[in-house]
Structure 1
Amino acid sequence: MGDTIIKAEGVSKYYRLGSEGAGRFREDFGRWWKGAPRGEEAHIWALRDVSFEIAEGEVVGFMGANGAGKSTLLKVISRITQPTQGRVRGRGRVASLLEVGTGFHGDLTGRENIFLNGHILGMTRAEIVARFDDIVDFSGVSAFLDTPVKRYSSGMYVRLAFSVAAHLTPEILIVDEVLAVGDAEFQQRCLRKMKEVSSEGGRTVLFVSHNLQALRNLCQRAFLLEKGRLVATGEPGRIIARYLEKENVHFLRQAYDDPFSAPGNEVIRIKRVELIPQFVGSEAVIDIRTPLDLELEFWYTPPFAADLIVGIHLFSLAGDCIFDVSSPRTDVSAGVVSGRCAIPGNFLNDGSYYISIVFVNNTTTRLFYFEACLSFEVADYRENTSWYGKWIGHVRPDFPVRIFPSAEI
């Protein structure tokens, strides 16, 4: 690990949400309709007194619920916006992918935008030319290189933007949730590239994602933000556990009516995922004896005729995989597809768990990974047990164990 390359000191960012008599009917009426506060109360601290240091060559993940301040913090580090209080000191060139279209001019072609971005990063023409073929090959948009990027799909846009940022050797690479726009195969290539530029190129990577597995595998350290404050820093597995414990315990259902706004991509869109305890009691958590049914529905638009496999991954809160089960290869037509997985009672140990669901095509191609979509807690409510401590292990199946006097053996 190298010397400090980024240092944030007491960074705060204040936004006004509007003021009385702003003169914009839509804003004023909307604020009145929602009962929003006026005057001095109509504001938000997107960041509040955030301080940290990041070393050269370090890969750091930023976590937190929506609205926690992650994107605002990256914009401050990128110098896209200025902090209200505090400061960020850094050195070296910064390449940022904060939203689709960052740094590109829509009327310029892909080729022209590669050179434009290179010049913005301080690269000479000779340096850009030397890396040009690698950029184009990685992006996979060579057929559209002389087309204005405003005609690109969001996936093509992100492919080219990431490829430019990763190949033009910035000292700091900042990537927000924008990679979720790309397909699964390209996301994996991007993650491998970020690992490569850090480990081999010595560059610093700041990464925001709700893909907890990617954060765990890629990052050396994770930061957790809550309501604009940095509340925890440390090893990614530990920070992920705290995040899930804070945000998602007892998160037993997700349902979406509109396929266009549901989680997923052009092939898979989630309609419903639900964990249904078969025994419902008054307790807030699930009794270890309770069988669980995992039900899912999703919109499926296969790009071509192919078999589909759906896998269920159960993790402990610390990120240990408890099991990985999957459906058989099934020829499924386009439309709404349903699935179910039964988890027997008397199987899981008391503790907290989360579930991820993977959709696979032809046994090898990952179509979509619905990370940490459900989470739940299991507790032991049995009476008259002789053991009052924590049982070891993640599972405690009720297998029969018998002992015999030596005369009966």
Structure 2
Amino acid sequence: MSSVIKVENLSKAYQLGDFGTGTISRDLERYWARIRGKEDPFLKVGETNDRTTKGESDVVWSLRDINFDIEQGDAVGIIGRNGAGKSTLLKILSRVTSPTTGSVKVKGRIASLLEVGTGFHPELTGKENIFLNGAILGMRKAEIKRKFDEIVDFSGVERYIDTPVKRYSSGMYVRLAFAVAAHLESEIMIVDEVLAVGDAEFQKKCLGKMDAVSRGEGRTVLFVSHNLGAVQKLCNKGILLNNGQITFNGSCKDAIYNYGQNGIKTDTDFLNRINYSSDKVKINNILFNNSSVNSIVLNPENNFSFEIRIELSLQTDMPMDIECRFVDRDLTPLAFYSPGHHDGVKIQNKGEVSLSYKITFPNNLNKVDLDMNLYLTYPGVEIYAFCEKALSIEYAGYSMTSGHVFEYEKGAGLIFLPPH
């Protein structure tokens, strides 16, 4: 495979507060340094982009010394906390903004969907914007006409296609914008978090389309999302950003694993490892309903019990959280169970320990199959051990259209999450 995106020593600095560098004298100082081949004095004072600290300088590095290659046909998930630099990186790759230092080499046309309304003129109709976007990508009118019906059908906004897009809802905007980006013949497709605006049905449709253009058509996809389940399902490569720097670049599974190991906790941590055990905690066995089977059918009472047998090598009174994350077969997070409510369970002795719990599902749920991922963590800090797909549950249920089906009850520990 040939490299279609090559990023070398890429950095982007922003000045906080006023736009520009502030004074003519400062601009002249920067110009004089540049023609003498010296380092830009404006950038010497820049600080790491950590949004949680106040800082001393009014210049921050949104990105710093970024290097990576992306090959044709790769689906790359770019993940990280808010403010990590993900959107800035995509804007540079899409040529919306330019880097402060470094270079970006791109082979092929790019179709970008960075935020609601990107590339659309609000006064033009949906139909006119389809042709405008195609022209920007360098496509001939005949090419756009050939794809037009397919784009409109995919977007689901046919009734409003002759209406100015300024009258569209944010969801309609995204539907049409994604349809244009996915169907016009670009070699590289860049999608930011905007899919979160769409409903669950359209999100699933979009993921299927991105998977098709990547694996089926050999096009390159860059995808930013905080829904790690969607990232894991779509992408084969992953880049983890933290404070404007790459902390991991490799397989998508390992990128998500490192995201969790860095203590960054979300409701969609998917660490795709099986029976991972650290040097602190080892999982010896997991029993469900007193059996070692890893698949069950819920009984009429909608409950099951499980027992975890672990071996500890830590000091006494260590806090440890038991976390069970329930997902459907599309990896959408549905429910969460933690008997310690993130306060941790106190373990008194080293050596082998057995912990037993019982989970009861409400009986008013639609039928759907679930998988349970099991984590043992130091609350909010470290993952000791986990087992992905520890249990497959047949005919449990959750309605993807009815919001909070089951609210948290004190003592129960089972929370059903809202639809994503």
Partner of 1:247, secondary structure, is coil
Q: Specify which of 107, 130, 135 is matched with residue 119 of structure 1.
A: 135
Structure 1 residues 319 and 207 mapped into 2: Cα distance closer, same or farther (>3 Å)?
farther
Following superposition, the deviation at residue 8 of structure 1 comes to 0.1
* TM-aligned CA deviation for residue 292 of structure 1: 6.4
8 Å contact 1:241–1:319 — kept in the other structure?
no
AA at the equivalent of 1:5: V
Contact 1:158 1:178 (C-alpha < 8 Å) held by counterparts: yes
User: 1:314: which partner in 2?
Assistant: 372
Q: Secondary structure at the match of 2:208?
A: helix
Cα contact 1:237–1:319 (8 A) shared by 2: no
CA contact (8 A) 2:110 2:186 kept: yes
User: Hey, what does 1:50 align to over in structure 2?
Assistant: 66
Aligned residue identity for 1:4: S
Q: Cα 1:329–1:136, aligned 2, differ >3 Å: closer, same or farther?
A: closer
Partner residue, 2:340: 277
Q: What is the total number of aligned residue pairs between the two structures?
A: 309
Relative to 1, partners in 2 of residues 1:63 and 1:36: Cα closer, same or farther, differing over 3 Å?
closer
How far off is 1:209 after superposition? 1.1
Distance 1:144 1:275 in 2: 46
Conserved? CA contact 1:10–1:49, under 8 Å: yes
Amino acid at match of 1:321: K
- Counterpart of 2:218, as a letter, is G
Once the 2 structures are TM-superposed, how far is the Cα of residue 215 of structure 1 from its aligned partner?
1.4
Q: For the Cα contact (< 8 Å) 2:406–2:416, is it kept in 1?
A: no
User: Which deviations, in whole Å up to 9, do the C-alpha atoms of 1:232-278 show, x marking residues without a partner?
Assistant: 111111111110121346989xxxxxxxxxxxxxxxxx9x9773418
Note the C-alpha offset of 1:69: 0.8
TM-score (norm: length of structure 1): 0.65
Partner of 1:4: 3
Q: Tell me which amino acid in the other structure corresponds to 2:134.
A: G
Name which of 252, 263, 266 aligns with 1:236.
252
Q: Distance in 1 between matches of 2:410 and 2:3?
A: 48
Q: Does 1:81 align with 2:97?
A: yes
CA change 1:249–1:133 in 2 (3 A) is closer
* Counterpart mapping for 1:332-347 below 5 A: 337-339=406-408
Aligned pairs (5 A) from 1:386-405: none
Percent of aligned positions that are identical: 46
Q: Does the 8 Å contact 1:277/1:292 carry over to 2? A: no
In the alignment, which residue of structure 2 is the partner of 1:214? 230
Compare 241-250 and 77-86 and name the one that shifted more: 241-250
Look up the equivalent residue of 1:12 and give its one-letter code. S
Q: 1:342 to 1:124 in 2, by over 3 A?
A: farther
Query: What runs of 5+ residues in structure 2 fail to find an aligned partner?
Result: 24-51, 269-332, 376-385
**Deviation (angstroms), 1:88:** 0.4
C-alpha distance in structure 2 between counterparts of 1:293 and 1:43, whole Å: 53
The 3 A distance-change label for structure 1 pair 80 and 335 is closer
Compared CA separation, residues 239 and 80, structure 1 to 2 (3 A)? same
Residue among 124, 131, 135 paired with 2:151:
135
- Given that 2:398 and 2:405 are in contact with CA atoms closer than 8 Å, whether structure 1 keeps it comes out as no
3-state DSSP class of the match of 1:277?
coil
Deviations 1:21-64 (A, max 9, x none): 979xxxxxxxxxx99566xx112111010001111111111111
Q: Give 1:334 deviation, angstroms.
A: 8.4
1:64 has 2:80 as partner: yes
Cα offset, 1:339, TM superposition: 4.8
Please provide the CA RMSD for this pair.
4.1
The change in CA–CA distance for 1:357 and 1:166 in structure 2 (over 3 A counts) is: farther
Return the letter of the residue paired with 2:100: T
Aligned to 1:174: 190
AA of the residue aligned to 1:338:
E
CA distance in 1, matches of 2:120, 2:9: 32
One-letter amino acid matched to 1:117: N
The answer on whether the counterparts of 1:155 and 1:182 sit within 8 Å (CA) in structure 2 is yes
Instruction: Please report how far the alpha carbon of residue 315 of structure 1 lies from its aligned counterpart in structure 2 after TM superposition.
Output: 2.1
SS at match of 2:96: coil
Alpha carbons of structure 1 residues 55 and 280: separation in structure 2 relative to 1, 3 Å: closer
Deviation string, structure 1 residues 127-167 (Cα, Å, up to 9, x no partner): 00000000000000000101111111111111100000111
- Given the two structures, how large is their TM-score scaled by the length of structure 2? 0.64
Distance 2:134 2:112 in 1: 13
Task: Write the deviation string for residues 47-105 of structure 1: whole angstroms up to 9, x where unpaired.
Answer: 01000111111111111111111111111111111111101011211111111110001
Which of 159, 172, 185 in structure 1 is aligned with 2:201?
A: 185
Gaps of 5+ in 1: 24-33, 253-269, 297-305, 345-354, 360-367, 370-409
- Per-residue displacement from partner, 1:313-351 (whole Å, max 9, x unpaired)? 532577822235575578x9888852569999xxxxxxx
- Alpha-carbon contact 1:62-1:224 (below 8 Å) kept: yes
1:283-302 maps to which residues of 2 (within 5 A)? 289=354
Instruction: Please give the alpha-carbon distance, in whole angstroms, between the structure 1 residues aligned to 2:148 and 2:387.
Output: 39
Give the counterpart letter for 1:240 in structure 2: I
